[in-house]
Each structure stands twice: as C-alpha cells, then as structure tokens.
Amino acid sequence: MANKRIEYIDTLKFIAILAVIVAHALSLIGSAEVLHFKLGKIDQLCRFAVPLFLMISGALFLNKEIILKDYLKKRVIRVIYPLIFFTVLIYIGKITNNVLYYYWYSWMFIGVLLAVPIINKFIQHSNKKEIEYYLIIFIILSIFNQVCNIFNIKYALDITFFYTPVSYLILGYYLFNKKINISANKLIILSVLLYIITSVIKMKTGNYNYSHEFHTYLDLSLLQIIQVTSVFIFFKTIYDNKTGILYKLMEVNAVKKFNLSVSRASYGMYLVQHPLIFGIIPPLIKPLKFTGTQSCIFYIISVITVFIISWLVVLLLSKIPYINKFSGYY
C-alpha cells in the first residue's frame, strides 16, 4: 500500500522548488536595479530552499524501520538514475564543463541519503533530550563558526560531526514531531516575523556561511537555521490547525492536485531548471538590453516560465515507459 501523503510536506516541497527557481533565475538579470534596489538581493529570501529539502527528508526518512537493501534500491538509486540521465544530457549539450559539480545539491543529497541508515539508528535509540542535545551543539557551533568567519579567526576545532547537512535532517525530524505549546495564531505571527527579520538581515549583510569544507553551497549559519525553521513551522501550523485563507486555498481541489504533482516532480524540476536557466535561456537574451523595470518584468516571466516548463517536462517523462525512472517524479 502506498504511503499516505502528508499535505504540508507536499506544500513545503512546492515552496522549496519554487524558491530554487526564484533564486537561480536572478542569474538571468545580473545586478539590475529597480528603484535603487538590486534585484540580486532577492536571493536571500530563497536561501531556505536546500535546507528545507533536507529537513523534509529528515521528517520522512528518520525513525523508520530501514531494510538496507530495499532502502538503497527505493531511496538512493531513484535519486541517482535521474542525476545520471540529466548529467549526460548536460554533457552532450555542452552547457557546462564541470558536469560533476553542476548538480552540487544532488551529489550532496546522495551522501546524506547514504548516511540516513546510520543516523536513523541514533534517532531510534535516542530520547527527546538527546536529540535536543545534538541540535543545541549544532546551533552553538553555527554561531561560533559565523563569528570566526566575520572576524577572520582561524581555529583548529574539528566541528564537522555536528556541523553537516545531516544536521538539517535531524532538525526536520525534530520539528516534524515537536508539539509547540503556543497558540496557532501566535506561532504563525512569530514564524512570519522571524522569516522577515532573518531575511532582511541576510539581504543587508550578505553574510553567507557556505560550507566549502563540504564542497557545497549549503548555508549552515544561524540566520539560515532560523529562516528555514520559520518556513517549516509556518506551514506545519497552518495545516495542523486547518484554518486561514491560505489553508482554504490549498484545499481547493485543482490547487491540491497541482500542489501534489509539483511536490512529486520537485526533484526532477530541480534537474531540469538548471540547463534552462544556466544554458538555454542566457544566449537567447544576451543581445537584449533591459532597463531596471524591464528586467523586473522579464525576471517574473522567467520564473513562471521555467517553473511551468520544468514541471511539464518531468510530468511528460514520467508518463513514458522505461524513461519514467529517469524523470525524478516520485
């Protein structure tokens, strides 16, 4: 029997892939300005996307009975097949010279998935306090590393055990199961405020905390942890309480079906939007000269177009026998 879908998880996947496309599409307009505002700063509003995907994986994969052979076949291999398929297409199309790094998130995610059976044992044999112990150290080390980066302080402390992409998995699992004793309205308002505050600070400072030691662009800063946590809690609270205009909109049958389809297609969409944004579209618009306002309009159109095309391509591939396992539609 198929696993029951969790509605707010599907919505989070929808939001995450949309955020990826919104962030990547900024590369099409460079440093264009509208009313003295650099559009490139919008990137900071969307940096929660990859951490959110990792947190979703933690919510879905941890504290489960894992049979290693079945897990590798059902979880890991189905991520590798689409990656190889699109990597070959990228190589043939000569869109990038560095095909092994082009899909950095996928390669990182494969490493995370390989660690899940081990991390799962920790979760299964840990109580709430022990999981909180791990997360507290993760947060402390995030602050420590950020301060050292700001003041250019070199240190020899090995923090990689707690300071990895896997930490987002554990955070996602924790929040997925956490009951917060605050009224729904207050929790929604708090999560919105935290998202706005952290996003504004990130837009003002541009202080990334990319984990180059892991050869990824994953942000492990405290600001990023708070931002992605606020997004997760916002949608979890809305769906748990089944109230509000947004929830009613998401429950409209057509919207619900579209949301589910995009959620299932999200991994494939991640793979498809790369060649569109970084390979196919740039040569077409290079001769064009946009004003700031025109850049803004073009940017919005690009996001919508890439989102719809990516979704349709994955959906189409998922309908073709033998090819469907390469589509990234789950």
Q: What mean pLDDT value characterizes the chain?
A: 89
With a cut of 70, say whether residue 122 has pLDDT above it: yes
Instruction: Report the pLDDT value the prediction gives residue 61, as an integer from 0 to 100.
Output: 96
CB neighbour list of residue 143: distance below 8 Å, 6 or more residues apart: 222
Confidence bin at 3 (pLDDT 50/70/90): low
The predicted-structure confidence for 97-110, as pLDDT tens digits, reads as follows 777 778 999 999 99
Q: What is residue 32's predicted lDDT score, i.e. its pLDDT?
A: 63
Sole residue written with tokens 């996307």: 49
**What's the CA gap between 174 and 176, in Å, rounded?**
5
Question: Of 45-49, 58-62, 84-88, 280-284, which range is least confident?
Answer: 280-284
Each residue of 222-244: pLDDT tens digit? 999 999 999 999 999 999 998 88
**pLDDT tens, residue by residue, 273-309:** 999 998 888 888 876 777 777 888 888 999 999 999 9
Number of H helices, E strands in the chain: 14, 2
Q: In whole angstroms, what is the distance from residue 325 CA to residue 330 CA?
A: 9
For residue 212, name the pLDDT band (cuts at 50, 70, 90). very low
For 70-180, where are the E strands, in sequence order?
none
List C-alpha distances in Å: 260 to 60, 224, 263, 266, 271. 16, 26, 5, 10, 18
Give the mean model confidence (pLDDT) for residues 253-267. 97
